Amino acid sequence: MKKTFLFILLFIITSTSLIAQYNKRYIYYMGQNAIIKKQYYKAINILSTLIEADSMSQDGFFLRAIAKYNLNDIVGAEHDFTNSIRINPVYVEAFQYRAITRSMMGNYNDALKDFQIALDIRPDYYKTYYSRGVTLLLNQQFKGAIEDFTKYIKQDKEGVDAYLNRGTAYLMLKDTVKALENFNSAIDVSPRYSDAYMKRGGIYNLKKEYKKALSDLDNAIKYDTTNLSAYFNRAITYSYSNNPIKAIEDFSSIIKKDSTSSLAYFNRAILRSQIGDYNNALDDYNKVIIYSPTNLLGYYNRGNLNLKLGEIENAFSDFTKSISLYNDFANAYLNRAYVRDLLGDSSGAKKDRKIAQQKINEYQNNIKTGNKDYKTYADTSKVFNSLLSFDNHEFNKKDNIKNKDIDIDILPLFKFAITEKKKNNEIDNADIKSFIKNVGTRKLTITNSPLLATDSISYVIEKNNLKQWYGGAWIDDFISAMKEYSIKQYTNSINMYDKAISNNNYNAFLYFNRSSVRCEMINFISNLDEKEQKLIINSDKSHRLERTKRTYNYKEPIKDIDYAISINPYISYFYYNKGNLLCLSGEIPQAIGSYSKAIEINPSFAEAYYNRGLAQLYLKDNKKGFLDISRAGELGLKEAYSKIKELRSNY
């Protein structure tokens, strides 16, 4: 009997284990299938379930990292690859892909270490040589890059990108003959590959063989009409060939495809000035300054154009702005001195010339002593109205493509509301469930979603139904307060919360909701003169992220939420809302502390991770910020990955 019982028990345990293993494998294959179908959000949700069930799933972490990588969540991907390696220290692919993410983050030293470990474990895995070659190329280790691409090509003679990258490395070593050989090989392997023609066209440009360059760039555009760099290079080639009209047409084509391209506007403005189309050139410089507001050449060149058009005061303003952006810009001082003379300010002109001469002397001394860090804008012989290439240092390439401030909206406050949007069974806090039960309506929930227009009707119905059963004064006032809020009658709503609190003054949730309404009312007032409260990240890397709008006083809503916390310190929503209020008050470090407390109470609080991530990005703690937003995505907050994608181009 005992043996039979033991056999049955073992059978049950074994069967349960097999079922669990089967379920894990099934979840894994579901996640893998989602990645194959490029359903990356879905894959992350599925694989997060697997990892929650099995924290030692090396493949679960690896696949989730791949999904994150494809959503531009580079920091989150690196974190998951690290977990995969922690579980399996000889996981070659995890080392290789972690190296790629680290390279993308600019962490070349650690990336190269990872590549070496991958090759030590599996020296025959030739794809690692290609990836390491790219990292070496980015890190300007050109000879090492050539060696790695050569090893890769021995195994894959059809690897067109390896030829292109090896050619680029040779070009950086000024070996144009071998660079051209590699670009020719790339075209032989892939005769319709746009980038190959563009690279070879670049070589012909260097050799001043403009007809050949134009032929290659025509092919580059023919095989990829979205290749903006090809349009840029062809425009510059047309300019070298003394064909400014064709060059202007190409820059106009770029602007049609990307209306924010400050570099295209800049180059077109120069060409328009050269052919005497001054008014359109001025319009282009105006666009340059809109989309690249901290680039001093935009102001400087516009100043020269304004001077030519007789707009003396505008020219003065532009040269002054150039100087404010770069204090060593000798040419701007000289030009402003000339403008001051025209305006009758001879003493100011004299002062500007003196400063300019000091900058020029400093520049010339640096040249004599061989100092490579001299200030190029003090060089009065330098031409500042020449065309800039697509990757010119004067316009950061990333900022040029999309050089706009990014609005970072923290997710809204939570509040109690009567709505059909969210089921109460999603709430697992006993105190909140008890409060909802006391109010007596299943439609009451806690949400941060906007209310539907029809929700206000539900309040009337619910209130009438509840009066028949309860007649409790605070419940009646509480529902009335929520109804008034739903139709944006903030003052009436706050008055009703005051009444409810007077009848039930130790109820934390009443203070919680009143705090939300008070905050909404302040935001509503702020919207009247500034549209909305936002945290703004300035895409210009020379500035800290800064609030560009006036800060409003959130003292009263903070007082309410603090009192709610003093009554019940175990509600995660209280700390989340306080974090939002502190953010809006400009107290970002304190806000991060509040979001952290919310997460401590509820480790699955996606919105708290998301907002904490934005707050950390605000303070330039980029790695932690992106990791938090990535974690919000893991927890099912889909907008997290669209935000990461939006932000990646600025970091």
Q: How much is the average pLDDT of 20-42? A: 84
The reported pLDDT for the residue numbered 381 is 65
The reported pLDDT for the residue numbered 251 is 95
Residue 131's φ and ψ, nearest 5 degrees, are -65, -40
**Is the per-residue pLDDT at 533 higher than 60?**
no
The residue written with tokens 């560009």 in the block is: 548
The reported pLDDT for the residue numbered 390 is 60
Q: How much is the average pLDDT of 635-640? A: 89
CA distance 97 to 59: 13
Same fold, 264-404 and 408-452+499-648: yes
Q: Which two tokens stand for residue 262?
A: 């400050």
On whether the CB atoms of residues 603 and 628 are closer than 8 A, the answer is: no
Rg of the chain (C-alpha set): 32
- Give me the amino acid identity at 361: N
Residue 537's φ and ψ, nearest 5 degrees, are -95, 120
Largest interatomic CA distance in the chain: 114
Q: How far is CA 213 from the centre of its chain?
A: 36
The DSSP-derived string for 466-497 is: HHHHT--HHHHHHHHHHHHHHTT-HHHHHHHH
CA distance 134 to 399: 23
**Is the per-residue pLDDT at 187 higher than 80?**
yes
Q: Which two tokens stand for residue 25?
A: 């494998």
Q: Give 138's contacts (C-beta < 8 A, 6+ positions apart).
A: 103, 108
Using CA atoms of 80, 86, 88, 89 in order, give the dihedral in degrees to the nearest 10.
120
On whether the CB atoms of residues 149 and 129 are closer than 8 A, the answer is: yes
Q: Give 374's contacts (C-beta < 8 A, 6+ positions apart).
A: 362, 363, 366, 367
CA-nearest of 427, 318, 326 to 382 is 326
CA distance 400 to 403: 5
The reported pLDDT for the residue numbered 606 is 94
Out of 82-96, 317-331, 376-390, the most confident range is 82-96
Q: Which two tokens stand for residue 589?
A: 């470090």
Q: How far is CA 560 from the centre of its chain?
A: 34
The reported pLDDT for the residue numbered 402 is 31
DSSP state of 535: E
- Give me the amino acid identity at 532: E
**CA triplet 170, 171, 175: central angle to 5 degrees?**
65
Q: How much is the average pLDDT of 336-356? A: 94
Burial (CB < 10 A; 0-12, 13-18, 19+), residue 469, is exposed
**Is the per-residue pLDDT at 545 higher than 50?**
no
- Buried-state track 214-226, b at ≥16 Cβ within 10 A, e below 16: bebbebbbebbee
Query: Would you tell me how many other CB atoms lie within 10 Å of the CB of residue 563?
Result: 19
On whether the CB atoms of residues 579 and 594 are closer than 8 A, the answer is: yes
If phi > 0 it is left, if psi is from -120 to 50 it is alpha, else beta; for residue 499 that is alpha
The reported pLDDT for the residue numbered 325 is 86
Domain 264-404 fold is: 1.25.40
**3-state secondary structure string across 380-424:** CCCCCCCCCCCCCCCCCHHHHHCCCCEEECCCCCCEEEECCCCCH
**Is the per-residue pLDDT at 7 higher than 50?**
no
The DSSP-derived string for 418-474 is: E-SSS-GGG---HHHHHHHHHHT-TTEEEE-SPPPTTHHHHHHHHHHHHHHHT--HH
Average pLDDT, the chain: 84
Q: Which two tokens stand for residue 371?
A: 């100092």
| The model scores a pTM over 0.85 | no
User: Which architecture characterizes domain 1-88 according to CATH?
Assistant: Alpha Horseshoe (1.25)
Q: Return the domain boundaries, the chain.
A: 1-88, 264-404, 408-452+499-648
Q: Could you tell me where the DSSP H helices lie in 275-401?
A: 278-291, 296-308, 312-325, 330-342, 346-368, 397-401
Per CATH, the number for 408-452+499-648 is 1.25.40.10
Residue 292's φ and ψ, nearest 5 degrees, are -140, 70
**Is the per-residue pLDDT at 168 higher than 80?**
yes
CA distance 105 to 99: 10
Q: Pairing mode, if any, of strands 444-447 and 415-418?
A: antiparallel
Q: Could you tell me where the DSSP H helices lie in 105-227?
A: 108-121, 127-138, 142-155, 160-172, 176-189, 194-206, 210-223
The reported pLDDT for the residue numbered 375 is 60
On whether the CB atoms of residues 381 and 374 are closer than 8 A, the answer is: no
Q: What percent of the chain has pLDDT over 90?
A: 57
Residue 256's φ and ψ, nearest 5 degrees, are -65, -35
The residue written with tokens 């300035």 in the block is: 538
Could you report the per-residue pLDDT of 436-486, keeping only the tens digit for each? 888 877 778 898 887 654 555 555 555 555 544 444 678 888 988 888 888
- Beta bridge partners, 407, equal 536
- Give me the amino acid identity at 275: I
- Buried-state track 232-248, b at ≥16 Cβ within 10 A, e below 16: bbbbbbbbeeeebeebb
